[in-house]
Amino acid sequence: MSKKLPSRTRDNKSKDTYSLRDYMETFIVSEGVSAAQELSDRIICANKKNRWFCKVVRDLTVQRKGVWTSAMMMEYFADCAMGNTDNNPLHYMELKSALKHAEKMGAWDFAKHIKKFIDKGYSHAHIDGGNRSDSVYLTLTNKLPVAKGVYDYGFDENNNKIYFRLEKDTMFEDLEEDFKDAILDYSGLEIVEYYDLTRSKRKSLFRKLNDGIDLNAPEIRNCEETDVCEINRNHDIKYDKLYLNTKVLTETGIARWNLSEYVAKMKSGKRNLSYDENGKLLVAWPSSTTVDKDYLVGSDADRYAEDEEKFYVDNFISYLDILKDDKFALFEKGLYIDFFLLMSWMKNNNIDMTYPVTKVKKLNLLKLFNDKHTNEWNAETDKPWISKYSKKKPVMVEWSGLYTKNNDEVLTQRLNRWVDEFITELLDKEVLVKVTNRTSSDKHEVSKLLKKQKSKTKISGKKVNTLKIAAEPSYVNVDHIEDLRGGGPDTFKNKSLEFGKDNRSKGAVRH
């Protein structure tokens, strides 16, 4: 059983020794029933695998990015099951005391961050030991097998040998009952709990526990408890392998929250597209200072974080998925930046692919884009482009020379050429279409369409009950006969009044 210290230390922490049975009883629950109670009642079964809940949350604002492999986790659990982890404690922050202290000190952002976890049922957060905690939790809840091997526990108080040989990796629930009990009762791990931690003390403690290794800039930035930081961080974890597989970034580029910074810069580049007095498109590629400001509470990046993430996923990640499926990649890493900024400019200017947009059309757009650079522009030998200024004089380069770096001057030249030459060509070939701005429908227009159509819809031919139009907003819709995405005009002549359900069915069929 756990051996608790009589009181907290002067550093406001306690150090306890837990058996794995103690750990289950304290930190793992299943629909309101403690894991230890389920074990004692022998009611663990396969259909309960997904009901488990660990009360220790992995708070990514203080964790380095990186998750152990299954093999590493299984190796750690084997050590833990044998009681060989007493020199490597887990460090947890107790949440309720931290929340109370944050509110007392007026640290409202930190308090809000902690309360978010408490409201979800968590009691503690990792400071150090997230992968080790996951190893224990995933194994005891039958999501990760116990590693094969010899588990020798020596002799009990009656001098009986306690010894088990596991011939193959086996789920915990499938072990013999004596072996389960040995693992649960003869195991041991130390847990240090910290109380009343402030945000700064928590960061300092994390650094100390990681041997004083300095955090890089993205890791420092990652500690912000803002919406934009959380969204970019979750994006980093969810899509890192996709960026790697499509050659957007290297292993180094997705490590240590570097991908979060890449995403933040891409979104900033989109947000700050502008024009000069002559109508020339300007790109403002963000510096580290700009990204720091974007990560502050209330910044434009923070306030519009969800909308920007949705746009990014719909207009960039969806294309990376297509590349991944066919094991393709763009010719230059810089082309990914160009493509995202070009998609951003297109959306801002109501330019899109002809309707309906399909995976085949998206792949074709990627190929045309990549070919334009790779087969044509990158082979050019003329030097009309400016890569930088040396002693206030421009250094002129070939088109290929613009892909050695990313800055305002270089990206502005690249994006303007894409817009002026590539987009114009695709509009001429009707691969892309300029979508007419959609005007809102008013009651006068609805009445005019009712009169024109003799109160009947075009799709079903059924009569419209005018008493239901105001009562049910979705009862009728003004539809475009020739879709705007297909190049149809937003004119009265191209409109019809349809029942909402018929219009929605029509849209579903066309998709």
Q: What is the pLDDT of residues 448-497, one digit of tens each?
A: 999 999 999 999 999 999 998 888 878 888 888 877 655 667 788 888 99
Instruction: Name the nearest CA neighbour of 124 among 194, 23, 22.
Output: 194
For residues 218 and 172, which has the higher predicted lDDT (pLDDT)? 172
- Token pair 């949350």 in the structure block, residue: 57
Burial class (CB in 10 A: 0-12, 13-18, 19+), 95: buried
Per the DSSP assignment, residues forming a β-bridge with 389 are 394
Specify the pLDDT at position 300: 95
Whether omega before 356 lies within 30 degrees of 0, making that bond cis, reads yes
Per-residue pLDDT at 372:
98
Which single residue is written with the structure tokens 């996709």? 242
Which CATH class, in words, describes the domain spanning 443-510? alpha beta
For residues 248 and 223, the answer to whether their CB atoms sit within 8 Å is: no
Q: Check pLDDT > 50 for residue 48.
A: no
Q: Helix, strand, or coil here: 247? A: coil
Query: What is the Cα–Cα distance from 42 to 36, expressed in whole angstroms?
Result: 10
CA dihedral 41, 45, 51, 57 (to 10 degrees): 80
CA distances from 343 to 14, 317, 385 (A): 54, 12, 23
**Phi/psi of residue 480, nearest 5 degrees:** -90, 125
pLDDT of residue 478: 86
Question: Which is nearest to 175 in space by CA: 189, 165, 187, 186?
Answer: 165
End-to-end CA distance of the chain: 61
How far apart (Å, rounded) are the C-alpha atoms in residues 377 and 371?
9
| Predicted pLDDT at 395 | 95
- Please work out, in degrees rounded to the nearest 5, the angle formed at the alpha carbon of residue 154 by the alpha carbons of 149 and 159: 145
d(CA 385, CA 397): 5
Going 200 to 204 to 207 to 213, the CA torsion angle's sign is: positive
Q: Following CA atoms 415, 418, 421, 426 in sequence, which dihedral angle do they give, to the nearest 10 degrees?
A: -140
Confidence label for 211 from pLDDT (cuts 50, 70 and 90)? low
> For 438-445, what is the mean pLDDT?
69
Average pLDDT value over all residues in the chain: 87
- Which residue would you say has higher pLDDT here, 193 or 441? 193
Count the neighbouring beta carbons within 10 Å of the beta carbon of residue 290: 16
Asked if residues 481 and 494 have their Cβ atoms less than 8 Å apart, the reply is: yes
Integer Rg of the chain from CA: 30
The predicted structure's pLDDT at residue 283: 97
Q: What is the mean pLDDT of residues 388-409?
A: 94
H-run or E-run covering 343: helix 333-348
Query: Phi/psi of residue 239, each to 5°?
Result: -115, 5
Contacts of 443 (CB under 8 A, 6+ apart): none
pLDDT at 437 over 60: no
- Segment 96-103 shows an average pLDDT of 95
In this structure, what token pair is assigned to residue 283?
């790109």
d(CA 180, CA 140): 10
The pLDDT > 90 percentage for the chain reads 64
H or E stretch covering 41: none
Beta bridge partners of 395: 388
The three-state secondary structure class of 246 is coil
Biggest CA–CA distance in the chain, Å, is 98
What span, in angstroms and rounded, lies between the C-alpha atoms of 46 and 38?
A: 13
Which residue spans within 321-365 are E strands per DSSP?
351-353
Helices 359-371 and 318-325 sit at what angle, rounded to 10 degrees? 90
Q: Rounded to the nearest 5 degrees, what angle is found at the Cα of 313, between the Cα atoms of 339 and 68?
A: 110
Q: How many residues does the chain have?
A: 511
pLDDT at residue 89 tops 80 = yes
Query: In the chain, where does the domain assigned CATH 3.40.1800 lie?
Result: 443-510
> Distance from CA of residue 223 to its chain's centroid?
16
Asked if residue 67 has pLDDT above 90, the reply is no
* Cα 355–Cα 360–Cα 363 angle in degrees, nearest 5: 110
Non-local (6+) Cβ contacts of 381 within 8 A are 398
- C-alpha to C-alpha distance for 463 and 287, rounded to whole angstroms: 61
User: Where do the H-state alpha helices sit in 150-226?
Assistant: 177-186, 199-209, 217-221
Say whether pLDDT at 63 is over 90.
no
pLDDT band at 173 (very low <50, low <70, confident <90, very high): very high
Please state, in angstroms and rounded to a whole number, the distance separating the CA atoms of residues 162 and 411. 68
**Contact 274/283 with Cβ under 8 angstroms?**
no
pLDDT tens-digit map of 125-163 = 998 888 899 999 999 999 999 999 999 988 888 888 888
The yes-or-no verdict on residue 352 having pLDDT over 50 is: yes
- SS3 category, 80: helix
Nearest CA to 474 out of 503, 453, 495 is that of: 503
Token readout for 78 is 């084997």
Distance CA 389, CA 209 (A): 46
In this model, does residue 76 exceed pLDDT 50?
A: yes
Per-residue pLDDT, 361? 96
Does 30 or 93 have the greater pLDDT score?
93
Identity of the highest mean pLDDT range in 75-79, 436-440, 477-481: 75-79
Burial (CB < 10 A; 0-12, 13-18, 19+), residue 369, is: buried
- pLDDT recorded at residue 52: 87
